[in-house]
């Protein structure tokens, strides 16, 4: 496995693979890797000739500086893990490599997705995500790129951006990997104390409950019920939305196939995100 830190070394690696017409699969990450990331890498390994993973904690997508400063970093462990998954190259750039003074993101409007859920509650977040993914796509030139559905809205934002710029990249959404007890794997889970780790399970439990209640309650009544449950819990709910998976319209009276419940809640100061398809 090659560890690449500079854009010029990455360009040399990629152009050699492109000249041989190899299919490049790309998994962008912020490190502190777990089996959720691993599942994306494994899928890329199955579907592509060359697998490139990036580890870059992108400062422009953090709207909360404490969250950025406390973001877990476990590079040595990450590299060992990626080598065990037969990754071909890991791109580990510094901020200057990703954003040299000459870099300019072409004009792009995220649109409606920037006004709801993650867009609404994390101003500037998706702008940063689009910027880094655009830049990394330009450098890695993948044929396929893998993203986790745990960040359900992010997948839609990236798909839209790829379509808008006509990039020849297939965006592949991958299912959420959970701990044995159901907690969605997340790098931020590393920051949870033992007690908080137990409290965090509430999110998965309420998503399951939501799924069980779809036959009895309308989407809007279900949302209200969930809000009440969180109000009585030790978690601080940032939002719960029940949405149409294609349009992201908030559902009120009627259920649609694929309806998704999206939840963000804080355990202490740690922000956790999860979602579940309620109507299969």
Q: Interaction with ligand AMP in 39-58: which residues (CB under 6 A)?
A: 39-40
Phi, psi of 232, rounded to the nearest 5 degrees: -90, 5
Could you give the CA distance from residue 82 to residue 154 in angstroms, rounded to a whole number?
A: 23
Taking the complex as a whole, the smallest distance from the CB of residue 129 to ligand AMP amounts, in Å, to 9
- Cβ atoms 204, 178 nearer than 8 A: yes
Taking the complex as a whole, the smallest distance from the CB of residue 226 to ligand AMP amounts, in Å, to 21
The verdict on 60 binding ligand AMP (CB under 6 A) reads no
The verdict on 135 binding ligand AMP (CB under 6 A) reads no
The verdict on 36 binding ligand AMP (CB under 6 A) reads yes
Could you give the CA distance from residue 90 to residue 56 in angstroms, rounded to a whole number?
A: 10
Tokens of 206: 């309420």
Residues in contact with ligand AMP, total (CB under 6 A)?
A: 17
The verdict on 148 binding ligand AMP (CB under 6 A) reads yes
- The number of beta carbons lying within 10 Å of the beta carbon of residue 49 is 14
Separation of first and last alpha carbons in the chain: 40
Rank residues 207 and 222 by Cβ distance to ligand AMP and give the closer one.
207
The verdict on 37 binding ligand AMP (CB under 6 A) reads yes
- Cβ atoms 271, 203 nearer than 8 A: no
Rank residues 184 and 259 by Cβ distance to ligand AMP and give the closer one.
184
Residue 125 appears among annotated catalytic residues: no
Contact pattern from residue 177 through residue 206 relative to ligand AMP, giving x for each residue in contact according to CB under 6 A and a dash for the rest: x------xxxx-------------------
Query: Which listed residue (151, 207, 260, 273) binds ligand AMP by CB under 6 A?
Result: 151
Q: CA-CA distances (angstroms) from residue 194 to 21, 34, 189, 198?
A: 49, 18, 10, 7
Question: 123: exposed, middle or buried (C-beta count within 10 Å: 0-12, 13-18, 19+)?
Answer: exposed
Name the active-site residue from 34, 37, 121, 125: 37
Chain residues that interact with ligand AMP, rule: CB under 6 A:
29-30, 36-37, 39-40, 147-148, 150-151, 174, 176-177, 184-187
Residue positions annotated with a catalytic role = 37
């Amino acid at each position: 496995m090659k560890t690449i830190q500079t854009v010029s070394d990455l360009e040399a690696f990629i152009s050699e693979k492109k000249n041989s017409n190899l299919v490049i699969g790309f998994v962008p990450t912020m490190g502190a890797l777990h089996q959720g990331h691993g599942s994306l890498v494994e899928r890329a390994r199955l579907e592509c000739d060359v697998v490139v993973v990036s580890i870059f904690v992108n400062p422009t997508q953090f709207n909360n500086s404490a969250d950025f400063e406390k973001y877990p970093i476990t590079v040595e462990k990450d590299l060992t893990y990626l080598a065990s998954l037969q990754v071909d190259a890991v791109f580990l750039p510094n901020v200057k490599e990703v954003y040299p003074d000459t870099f300019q993101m072409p004009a792009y409007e995220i649109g409606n997705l920037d006004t709801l859920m993650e867009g609404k509650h994390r101003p500037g977040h998706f702008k940063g995500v689009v910027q880094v993914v655009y830049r990394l796509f330009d450098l890695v030139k993948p044929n396929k790129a893998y993203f986790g559905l745990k960040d359900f809205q992010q997948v839609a934002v990236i798909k839209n951006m790829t379509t808008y710029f006509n990039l020849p990249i297939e965006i592949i959404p991958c299912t959420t990997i959970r701990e044995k007890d159901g907690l969605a794997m997340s790098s931020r889970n590393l920051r949870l104390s033992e007690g908080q780790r137990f409290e965090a399970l509430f999110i998965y439990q309420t998503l399951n409950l939501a799924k069980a209640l779809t036959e009895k309650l309308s989407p809007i009544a279900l949302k209200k019920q969930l809000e009440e449950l969180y109000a009585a819990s030790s978690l601080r709910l940032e939002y719960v939305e029940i949405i149409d998976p294609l349009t992201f319209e908030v559902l009120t009276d009627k259920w649609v196939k694929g309806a998704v419940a999206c939840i963000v809640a804080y355990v202490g100061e740690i922000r956790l995100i999860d979602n579940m398809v309620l109507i299969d």
